[in-house]
Structure 1
Amino acid sequence: MGCLRVLLAIVFPPLSVIGKGCGSFIIVFLLTLCGWVPGVIAALIILNNPN
């Protein structure tokens, strides 16, 4: 997980997980619409997952 991805996950979470697949992008996007904090948490969890 690079520093740029972490910074991007904090600023705009859906954009940081766009390389992980469409499902991850949609989940993080919906959580970001519900609130910024859930979107950031989900993005950091997805980025931290090695799979």
Structure 2
Amino acid sequence: MSDTIPALLIILITILCPPVGVYLVAGCGADLFVNICLTLLGYLPGHIHAFYIEYVYFDRRDRARHGQLTGRHAPGVYSERVQHGGAVGYGTI
């Protein structure tokens, strides 16, 4: 239940303004820049990109919790935070 509320809040924010939803998930980087450009080109492409970024983030987060995360990167996603589901590792010691 505690994970569902933030996810729903991010989805509602994304419906209103797609770049804000991408910023909340991916931070300030290439994904945000791409989403701003797509939103300026048309509201629908911005939404599609934002929901794709959020889908990858939440899917990878759930897979990481179950130990099923693969090493392959999702196409079109530039944020390491999204690629790893929020758990950015800094290598091994």
* Shared fold per TM-score greater than 0.5: yes
Percent of residue pairs identical: 31
Partner of 2:13: 8
- Say which structure, 1 or 2, has more relative contact order (CA 8 Å, 6+ apart): 1
Moved over 6 A (4+): none
Q: CA deviation at 1:2?
A: 0.1
Q: In structure 2, how many angstroms separate the alpha carbons of the residues matched to 1:8 and 1:32?
A: 14
Structure having the higher Rg: 2
Matches within 5 A, 1:2-41: 2-18=7-23, 19-21=25-27, 22-41=29-48
TM-score when scaled to structure 1? 0.88
CA RMSD of aligned residues (A): 1.4
Bigger fraction of residues in helix: 1
How many Å apart are 1:8 and its aligned residue?
A: 1.1
Count the aligned residue pairs.
51
Unmatched 5+ residue regions in structure 2? 1-5, 61-82, 84-93
